[in-house]
Amino acid sequence: MIKSSLENAINNQINTEFYSSYLYLSMSAYFEAKSFSGFAKWMVIQAQEEYTHAMKFYTYLIQKGGLVKLSQIDEPKQEWKSLIDVFEDTYEHEQKVTASINAIVDLALQEKDHATVSFLNWFVTEQVEEEATVQKIVDDLKLIGDNNNGLFMMDRELGQRATTASSVTV
Ligand code: FEO
């Protein structure tokens, strides 16, 4: 049986991951409206990955005998100033997610719940990758600036993002 403090923290994280999925889908819709179909596809896959993150927490909580409590998902932002603004927001959001996962690790250590610490390790590693990937996109967009050819090429490149195994399995 999982401690109620961790049950609450994981339920909050389920909401955070579903919100992340919703936010990235909103970003995808923004890109579609601007006719950047590659950026839009990249964000749809990102949204799918966030859904699987939520479901990993969901499944784990049930396996540990906890009670899943789904809560209201906040409305995501719908407008951004530019492409780079979207990815800067993404980076900032991922940093918040990292802090939130680290806080659950701290709690699991405090509660001496080794199984939960072990479960969370996957997310700790995943966050390093997520932050690095988004930071690279921000850096590339800064280099490209207003160069239309560069933006066109980057849209093509991001549109090649394949659905990864982790985005389709829980
Ligand atoms: Fe589920 Fe992007 O963190």
pTM, two decimals, is 0.94
CB 93 within 8 A of CB 23: yes
The end-to-end CA distance of the chain, in Å, is 22
**For residues 131-141, average pLDDT:** 98
Q: Is the pLDDT of residue 167 over 50?
A: no
Average pLDDT, the chain: 95
Ligand 1 and 21: CB distance under 6 A: no
Judge if the beta carbon of residue 53 lies within 6 A of ligand 1: yes
Tell me the pLDDT band of 1, cut-offs 50, 70 and 90. confident
For 24-46, how does the pLDDT look when each residue is reduced to its tens digit (9 = 90+)? 999 999 999 999 999 999 999 99
- Residue range 4-168, CATH number: 1.20.1260.10
Q: What is the pLDDT of residue 161?
A: 85
- How many A from CA of 149 to the centre of ligand 1? 31
Cα-Cα-Cα-Cα dihedral of 122, 123, 124, 126, to 10°? 90
Rounded to a whole number of angstroms, the CA Rg of the chain reads 17
pLDDT digit string, tens, across residues 44-70: 999 999 999 999 999 999 999 999 999
Ligand 1 pocket residue status of 28, Cβ below 6 Å: no
Residue 155 has pLDDT above 60, yes or no: yes
* Statement: residue 107 has pLDDT above 70: yes
Residues 47 and 61: their CA atoms lie apart, in Å, by 21
pLDDT of the residue at 137: 97
Shortest-distance Cα residue to atom 1 of ligand 1: 50
Q: Is 167 in the pocket of ligand 1 (CB under 6 A)?
A: no
Q: Determine if ligand 1 sits within 6 Å of the CB of residue 20.
A: yes
In the reported structure, the alpha carbon of residue 147 is separated from the centroid of ligand 1 by a whole-number distance in angstroms of 30
Distance separating alpha carbons of residues 131 and 84, to the nearest angstrom: 15
Cα 148 to averaged position of ligand 1 atoms, centre (Å)? 30
Rounded percentage of the chain residues whose pLDDT exceeds 90: 94
Of 105 and 166, which is predicted with more confidence?
105
Which pLDDT belongs to residue 164? 57
**Domain boundaries in the chain?**
4-168
